[in-house]
Amino acid sequence: MSKSYIPKALRTLVAAQGQYRCGYCLTQERVVGVAMEVEHLIPEILGGPTEEANLWLACSLCNNHKADRVAGIDPLTGEAVSLFDPRRQVWQEHFAWEDGGTIILGRTPQGRATVTTLSLNRVALVRARRLWVSVGWHSPNDTQ
Ligand SMILES: [Zn+2]
C-alpha cells in the first residue's frame, strides 16, 4: 500500500514500464477501465523507498491482498518464500495460464505463494477473464 506521494512523472514512467497492467494478475488497465496503482515492492513500512526501483503497477485488489507482505507460503511445501517481484522477475518463469487463459498456475515456489497470497484466481476475476478471452482482449500468449 502506497502512502507517500508519488510524483506524476514517476507514476507515468512506472505505468509505461508495467505496460499499464497489473504485474501480478496481468489485468490490463484498458480492459477494466480503472487506473492501476503504483505499489511499493518492498512496503514502506519495511523501509521500501519511493523510487523507481521499488515501484511497480498492481491492480487495487492485488495491491490490497499484498498489503505489507514480501513473503507468502508455498501451498505445495508449506515453506515461506518471497513473493514474485514483477520488476526483477519474468512472469512466465513463475506462472502459467490454464483453462484457456482464465486461471493462473504457479510454476515455482514463489509463483505458487504469490497465487495464494494475492488470490490471483479470484472468482470474479476468473469470470471476467472468461469474457475477455471470448472477445480476444486477454490472451495467455500476450504476457510481457
Ligand atoms: Zn492484479
Task: Please give the radius of gyration of the chain, using alpha carbons only, rounded to the nearest integer.
Answer: 15
Query: For residue 118, how far is its CA from the centre of ligand 1 (angstroms)?
Result: 8
Number of domains in the chain: 1
**Identity (one letter) of the amino acid at 43?**
P
In a domain, 139, yes or no: no
Q: Is the pLDDT of residue 107 over 80?
A: yes
CB 29 within 8 A of CB 21: yes
pLDDT grade for 4, boundaries at 50, 70 and 90? confident
Residue 1 lies in a domain: no
Q: Supply the range of the domain harboring residue 128.
A: 8-134
Tell me whether residue 44 is in a domain.
yes
* pLDDT bucket at 144, cuts 50 / 70 / 90: very low
Q: Tell if the pTM clears 0.85, that is, is over it.
A: yes
Cell of 61: 485488489
CA of 46 from ligand 1 middle (Å) equals: 22
Calculate how far, in angstroms, residue 23's C-alpha sits from the geometric centre of ligand 1: 7
**pLDDT tens column, 73-89:** 999 999 999 999 999 99
Nearest-CA neighbor of 11 among 45, 43, 37? Answer: 37
Position 68 in a domain: yes
CA of 1 to the centre of ligand 1 (A): 13
C-alpha 37 to ligand 1 mean position (Å): 10
- 2 within some domain: no
45 is a domain residue: yes
d(CA 40, ligand 1 centre) in Å:
14
Residues in the chain: 144
